[in-house]
Amino acid sequence: MSLLELENASRLQHGVWIAAAALLAVLILAPWWADDSDLRSIAEFAYLVAIAQMWNLLAGYGGLISVGQQVFIGIGGYTLLILSLDAGISPFLCIPVAGVVSALFAVPIAAVVFRLQGPYFAIGTWVVADVFRLALDNVPAIGGGSGKSLTSALMSIPGWQREATTYWIALGLGVGLTIGVYLILRSRLGLAMTAVRDSVPASESLGVRVGRTKLLIYVASALGLGMAGALIYLTKLRVSPDAAFSMDWTVLMIFIVVIGGIGTVEGPIVGTAVFFFLRAMLADFGPWYLVILGSVAVVVMLKARRGIWGWVAGRFNFHVFPTRRRIRVNSLRSGFAEMPPSPRYLTE
């Protein structure tokens, strides 16, 4: 037995994973046991987790704070619209294609917005989203400002099959992108990302290619958001520029991640649950609901910067998705010490 071992998973984690797998099996079978409105709620939960994971990947791990990520939701939605209505491609097949299209758009967008540093990058991405929104307003062929309905592309598919397939894709995206983020973080790219987020000069000196790392994260996030965007508009059945490129998508992503716990894989899931709870509680309050949600996010940022999951993980030292490599020191008394690396914004 060596003195130092990289510790990966605890027994408790295994338990949680088994429970999660069981829950997933139950959810996969939901089209046979749940009614339409439950199915839609679970699908919404899943795609909100998916888009929150993509923002978390970008900001929480990549250090790229964007308030314009709705651009890729919109690109995904419009890819679905154009390919299914005008090219006659199966709407379900459009979803992976929308991810690829979105990723392709991300490259030239990055070429522009990466010229802006820090907080100005955040607003630059917003301008780009606004460009897409306004430009599509002026294209009558795909509905102009009022948008277009997708129903004609879906008419040939039987109702149950359409609902169930849409649901499975949403579930797949929620679970798949969560696992995807986790795998990226465990990879070499993940290490490089964390290094870049914590210190650009230090990671450069260690041979991390900063520009390439940031671009890869940005494109990966666009890929996921493009797929999610297509899926979202498959459930909404109507795509319009104001809705598809709406800031509201990014508001959701940010609030979910901040409240749940930025920079943790678990955070977006916890945040989505909190969001569903608050929305149900505050459904009758109209605009006050967003005032309260915004206030919660501000208070979290001021008082508990690591969010709910960050607090749980810190308090109980428990991770479902251990993305940090923890060093275990084996000694005769089998006690172990940990060296938790602490990102800058968590320790201050």
Partner 1 sequence: MSLFAVVDPVMQGLLLGGMYALFAIGLSLSFGIMRMVNIAHGDIIVLAAYVTLVVVETLAVNPFVAMIVVVPSLAAFGYVLQRVLLNPVLGDDILPPLLVTFGLSVIIQNLLLAVFSADPMGIHADAVQTASIGLGGGLAVGVLPLIIFASAVAVVAGLELLFAFTGLGRAFRATSDNQTVAQLMGIDNRHLYAVATALALAISAIAGSFLALRTTFVPTLGPSKLLVAFEAIIVGGMGSLWGTLAGAMLLGVAQSIGFRYNSGSGILAGHFVFLAILLVRPQGLFARARRS
Summarize as ranges the residues that interact with partner 1 (CB under 8 A): 59, 63, 65, 67, 112, 115-116, 118-120, 122-124, 126-128, 130-131, 134-135, 137-138, 145, 247, 251, 254-255, 258, 262, 286-291, 293-295, 297-298, 301-302, 305, 344-345, 348
Residue length of the chain: 348
CA angle 249, 179, 323 (to 5 degrees): 105
* Nearer residue to partner 1 within complex by CB, 295 or 317: 295
* Nearer residue to partner 1 within complex by CB, 57 or 234: 57
* Nearer residue to partner 1 within complex by CB, 42 or 251: 251
Q: Look at residue 62 and give its three-state secondary structure.
A: coil
**Shortest distance, CB of residue 294 to partner 1, whole angstroms?**
4
**Shortest distance, CB of residue 314 to partner 1, whole angstroms?**
17
CA gap 325, 7 in Å, rounded: 7
Q: Which residues contact 104 (CB under 8 A, 6 or more apart)?
A: none
CA gap 241, 125 in Å, rounded: 16
**Shortest distance, CB of residue 301 to partner 1, whole angstroms?**
5
Q: Extract the tokens encoding 122.
A: 């955040």
Q: Which residues contact 189 (CB under 8 A, 6 or more apart)?
A: 213, 216, 217
Burial of 192 (0-12, 13-18, 19+ CB in 10 A): buried
* Nearer residue to partner 1 within complex by CB, 126 or 182: 126
* Nearer residue to partner 1 within complex by CB, 114 or 276: 114
CB atoms within 10 A of CB 175: 17
* Nearer residue to partner 1 within complex by CB, 106 or 258: 258
**Shortest distance, CB of residue 89 to partner 1, whole angstroms?**
29
β-strands 238-239, 148-149: how paired?
Answer: antiparallel
CA gap 217, 232 in Å, rounded: 22
**Shortest distance, CB of residue 295 to partner 1, whole angstroms?**
6
The set of long-range contacts for 158-165, using a CB threshold of 8 Å and a minimum separation of 24, is: 160/31, 163/31, 163/36, 163/39, 164/31, 164/39, 165/92
Partners of 13 in the β-ladder: none
* Nearer residue to partner 1 within complex by CB, 139 or 179: 139
**Shortest distance, CB of residue 81 to partner 1, whole angstroms?**
20
**Shortest distance, CB of residue 250 to partner 1, whole angstroms?**
9
**Shortest distance, CB of residue 110 to partner 1, whole angstroms?**
12
* Nearer residue to partner 1 within complex by CB, 67 or 230: 67
